[in-house]
Amino acid sequence: MTVMNLLTCTALISGLALPFIVQAKAPHLAAEINTCSQISQDQARLTCFDALTQSKTLPAETISKSVKSEKLPLTEQQIDEFAKGHVEKSKEELAKEINSITLTISELTKTLRGQWKIVFENGQKWQQKDNNKFKLKIGQRVTLTKGALSAIFLQKENSNKRIKVKRLK
């Protein structure tokens, strides 16, 4: 028998014998593994499995209960702001909302793909997201307008053509 065949046989035998060894050492291990797998927080689940593999000093129920009690309480503002974007805005809120701004370009560069990188006089940095051809010059005034699905469009004054942009800084 070659060394490779011997190693393969050893691995096969140990792989087949492992479930029986585990069952003999811990008759309640299946229930504890099931409890660990039901923990939703990644770190808590990992801690539970680590405790099972290292020593049987901490049962899974104890770990999951201690992790559930460690959740940080939410503030009233966090609770109030949760999914507020789904709520229809009042006329007052719509009136206060800014839908477009006009800025002056202070720096212009192009990426390797030919997309504009734009720095405005107020320090904001923006980059073109689409591949449309668009002429820009330093000192030119442009308008940034909100679009559907959180899109932002850049448009030159007195022009209908626009490009899609994203804010970098």
The predicted-structure confidence for 25-75, as pLDDT tens digits, reads as follows 555 677 788 888 888 888 888 888 788 777 555 555 555 555 555 567 778
pLDDT digits (tens, 9 = 90+) for 69-110: 556 777 888 888 887 777 787 888 878 888 899 999 999 999
pTM of the full structure: 0.49
Q: Where are the domains of the chain?
A: 3-69, 95-167
CA–CA separation, 40 vs 44, rounded Å? 8
Beta carbons within 10 angstroms of residue 84's beta carbon: 8
- Among 9-13, 26-30, 50-54, 145-149, the range of highest mean pLDDT: 145-149
Long-range contacts of 59-64 (CB under 8 A, 24+ apart): 59/32, 60/32, 60/33, 60/35, 60/36, 61/35, 63/36, 63/39, 64/35, 64/36, 64/38, 64/39
